[in-house]
Amino acid sequence: MDTQTRHPMLVEANHDENVRQQFVHNLRLVLAKDISPVNHKIYEKIHKPAFLKENKREPENRHEVRKIMTNDPFYRLYSATQRASQEMMWDSVIDSVEREYDNLHQKADLSPKTKESSCKVNKNFVTPNYHTAADIHLQPGGYHWEKNENDMSAGAIYDRSVFIYAIGGLGNLNDDFGKTLTNYYKENYPKKSPKKILDMGCAVGHSTLPWVDAFTDAQVYGIDCGGGMIKYAHARANYLKKSIHFSQQNAEKTNFNSNSFDIVCSHIMLHETSTSAFKNILKECFRILKPGGLMLHLDVPNTDGMDAFTSFMTDWEAYNNNETFLVTLRDMDWVKETVDAGFGHNKVQLSRTETFLTQQAIKNGQQPTFRTKFPVLVAEK
Ligand SMILES: C[S@@+](CC[C@H](N)C(=O)[O-])C[C@H]1O[C@@H](n2cnc3c(N)ncnc32)[C@H](O)[C@@H]1O
C-alpha cells in the first residue's frame, strides 16, 4: 500500500502501528470502491421508485435524498464504518507521533536555510472560532492545537494521516492539488511568469511545494492558522530542499502589503472556513494582489452539474466529519461573492478540473483513483 515519500520529519510507524495504518488504508479502499457504490444501487432500486410513486416526481436535490437515505440501514452501516475508519486513522498515526514527540522538534531545523525560506510563528495568534468550535475532519485538537511553543505534532499527524485519508490518491508527497493548480495555471496563462506567490491555508506545505517547482525564480509564501503546521511545514520543506516563507497568519487579514502578489491561491481551504471568513478572504486576496495578478482557489465540488444523489454523498464530510461549512459553501454563488469582494465582473470565472494525477492516468490508459471535477475559482485583479 505504502508509497509515501520518506523524509526525516515523517514519523516512522513501528510494526504494530504500521499494521493498524495499513488496515485503515485498506478499509477505506474497500469502503470507497466496493461498499459506497452499493448505496447508489439501493437508492435507484428501492428509494427513488418509492419516492416517485408517493410524490409523482423524483427527489429534487441532495437535501431530499438525505432525508430518505439517512433512514436506510445499509447507508447507516456504511456511514458509521466510514466515520469509524476516520477515527481509527487518526488513532493509528497519533500513537507513532506521541512516541516520537520529543524527537520531532529536535530533528526540525527552524532556521532559514536560504534567503527565500523562513518560519514565523505568532505567539499571540487568535485561532478563528470556525477552527476551535469543532475538530475539522475529526483530527484530535484540530489543526491548531499546540502543547508548547516547540510542538509541531499537529503537522506530523496531518502529514501521515492525509496519505491514508486519501488512500494514497494524492501522490507520494500528497501534492496532487498543488500540481493540479500549477498545471491549470500554466495551461491557461502560458505567457505569465509570476514572481511572488502566496498559498493560503498551506498546512504542512503539500500543495505549496509544486509552486516552487513550477516557478523556480519566484518567491513562494505559505500561511496557515496552525502554528504546529507552519513549523512542521518549514522543517519538511528544508529536508525536501524547497525554499518557502512560511508564517502563521489568518488569511482573512494578513500582514502583507497591498498590491504585492502575482498569484494568491489556496487548495481545499475555503470549505473549512465560514460564510464571513469566505467573504473576508476574497477581499484580502483582492487587496494583496498586484493589478493583473491572479487569485486561484481550488476547492471541493460544488453542486454545479451534479445529480442529487452524488451531491448528497459529497455532503457526507459535512455531516459526519466536521466539515460544517461545506453545506453552505456549496450553495453559495462564488462568482457573485468574488465580484462583491472587488474583482471586475468580467474578470471572474468558475471552471472545473480533474486532478493532475487523474489526467495523467487517463493519458496513460490507466484507471484513475478519483474521477472528480474540482471547482477552480479564478479572478484577475
Ligand atoms: C484541508 S487543509 C488543506 C491544506 C493544504 N492547502 C493542502 O492542499 O494540503 C486546510 C488548511 O487551511 C487552513 N486554514 C483554514 N482557515 C484558514 C484561515 N482563515 N487562514 C489561514 N489558514 C486557514 C487550516 O489550518 C488547514 O491547514
The DSSP output letter for 11 is: P
Q: Is 130 in the pocket of ligand 1 (CB under 6 A)?
A: no
**Ligand 1 centre distance from Cα of residue 349 (Å):** 22
Query: Are residue 164 and residue 34 in the same domain, yes or no?
Result: no
Q: Is the pLDDT of residue 40 over 70?
A: yes
DSSP secondary structure string, 167-227? TTTTTTTT-HHHHHHHHHHHHH-TT---SEEEEES-TTSTTTHHHHHH-TTSEEEEEES-H
214 lines ligand 1 (CB under 6 A): no
The pLDDT assigned to 158 comes to 96
- Establish whether residue 277 lines the binding site of ligand 1, counting it when its CB lies within 6 angstroms of any ligand atom: yes
Of the three residues 76, 110, 144, the one that is the final residue of a domain is 110
- Give 153 or 109, the one with higher predicted confidence: 153
Q: Tell me the DSSP string of 319-345.
A: HHSS-TTHHHHHHS-HHHHHHHTT--G
**Residue 119 is assigned to a structural domain of this protein:** no
> Buried b / exposed e across 208-242, counting CB within 10 Å, b at 16+?
bbbbbebbeebbbbbbbbbbbbbbbbbbbbbbbeb
* Residues 286 and 175 grouped into a single domain: yes
Q: Looking at the domain assignment, is residue 118 inside a domain?
A: no
- Tell me the mean pLDDT in the region 266-270: 97
pLDDT of 361 reads 86
Q: How far is the CA of 43 from the centre of ligand 1 (A)?
A: 34
Please state, in angstroms and as integers, the Cα–Cα distance from residue 63 to each residue in 40, 81, 200, 371, following that order.
Answer: 15, 22, 31, 23
Pairing of β 118-120 and β 196-200: unpaired
Ligand 1 pocket test target in 269, 273, 275 with most atoms within 8 Å of CB: 269
In the predicted structure, residue 306 carries a pLDDT above the cut 90: no
Judged by DSSP in three states, 151 sits in: coil
Sheet holding 219-224, edge to edge: 118-120, 245-248, 219-224, 196-200, 261-267, 289-298, 374-380, 348-353
Output the 3-class SS for 13-62: CCHHHHHHHHHHHHHHHHHHHHHHHHHHHHHHHHHHHHHHHHHCCCCCCH
Give the H or E element holding residue 364: none
Mean pLDDT for 271-275 is: 94
Q: Which three cell numbers stand for residue 221?
A: 509564501
Protein residue closest via CA to atom 14 of ligand 1: 201
- pLDDT of residue 1 exceeding 60, the answer is no
Looking at the domain assignment, is residue 7 inside a domain?
Answer: no
What confidence tens digit (pLDDT) does each residue in 75-118 have?
Answer: 999 999 999 999 999 999 999 999 999 889 888 877 777 888 99
User: 47: Cβ below 6 Å to ligand 1?
Assistant: no
Could you give the number of structural domains in the chain?
2
Residue 274 reports pLDDT greater than 80: yes
Kindly give, in sequence order, each residue whose CB lies less than 8 Å from that of residue 69, ignoring residues fewer than 6 positions away: 39, 43, 47, 75, 312
Average pLDDT, whole number, for the chain? 94
Q: What percent of the chain has pLDDT over 90?
A: 80
267 within 8 A of 239, measured Cβ to Cβ: no
> What CATH number corresponds to the domain at position 155?
3.40.50.150
Pairing of strands 245-248, 261-267: unpaired
Check whether residue 54 and residue 163 sit in a common domain: no
Is the CB of 207 within 6 Å of ligand 1? yes
pLDDT number for residue 142: 87
Indicate whether 122 belongs to any domain: no
Regarding whether 308 and 251 lie in a shared domain, the answer is yes
**299 and 369 assigned to the same domain:** yes
Q: Residue 271 carries which side chain, given as an amino acid letter?
A: H
Same domain, yes or no, for 81 and 225?
no
Same domain, 352 and 260: yes
Over residues 52-87, the pLDDT tens digits come to: 999 999 999 999 999 999 999 999 999 999 999 999
Q: How far is the CA of 225 from the centre of ligand 1 (A)?
A: 7
- Of 110, 145, 177, the residue at which a domain comes to its end is 110
Last residue of a domain, one of 110, 128, 155: 110
Is 211 part of any domain?
yes
Instruction: Provide the CB-side half-sphere exposure for 125 (13 A, CA).
Output: 28
Pair 201, 321 in one domain: yes
What integer pLDDT is reported at residue 112 of this predicted model?
A: 76
Q: Which residues contact 339 (CB under 8 A, 6 or more apart)?
A: 345, 348
User: Do 96 and 174 share a domain, yes or no?
Assistant: no
Q: Given pLDDT bands bounded at 50, 70 and 90, which one contains residue 2?
A: low
Among the residue ranges 16-20, 74-78, 105-109, 302-306, the one predicted with the least confidence is 302-306
Q: Based on the domain organization, do 155 and 287 belong to the same domain?
A: yes
Q: What is the pLDDT of residue 162?
A: 96
Instruction: Please report which helix (H) or strand (E) contains residue 9, including its range.
Output: none
Q: Do the domain assignments include residue 129?
A: no
Q: Which secondary-structure segment (H or E) carries 358?
A: helix 356-363
Q: What does the block give as the cell for 134? A: 469543532
Residues 6+ apart with CB under 8 A from 271: 299, 300, 323, 325, 326, 329
In this structure, is residue 352 part of a structural domain? yes
Tell me if 355 CB under 6 Å of ligand 1.
Answer: no
Q: Is residue 317 part of a domain?
A: yes
The reply to whether 157 and 106 lie within a common domain is: no
Report how far residue 84's alpha carbon sits from residue 82's, in angstroms, rounded to the nearest whole number: 5
Domain holding 48, by residue range, is: 15-110
- Residue 137's identity, in one-letter code, is H
- Judged against a pLDDT cut of 80, whether residue 369 lies above it is answered with no
Are residues 162 and 93 part of one domain? no
Specify the pairing of strand 245-248 against strand 118-120.
parallel
- Report CA(92)–ligand 1 centroid distance (Å): 23
pLDDT tens track for 204-226: 999 999 999 999 999 999 999 99
| Test site for ligand 1: of 170, 211, 225, most ligand atoms within 8 A of the Cβ | 225
Structure confidence at residue 302 (pLDDT): 80
Residue 284 has pLDDT above 80, yes or no: yes
Task: Tell me the CB-side half-sphere exposure of residue 237, using CA atoms within 13 A.
Answer: 36
Please tell me if the CB atom of residue 315 comes closer than 6 angstroms to any atom of ligand 1. Answer: no
Maximum average pLDDT range among 131-140, 155-164, 360-369? 155-164
CA of 201 to the centre of ligand 1 (A): 3
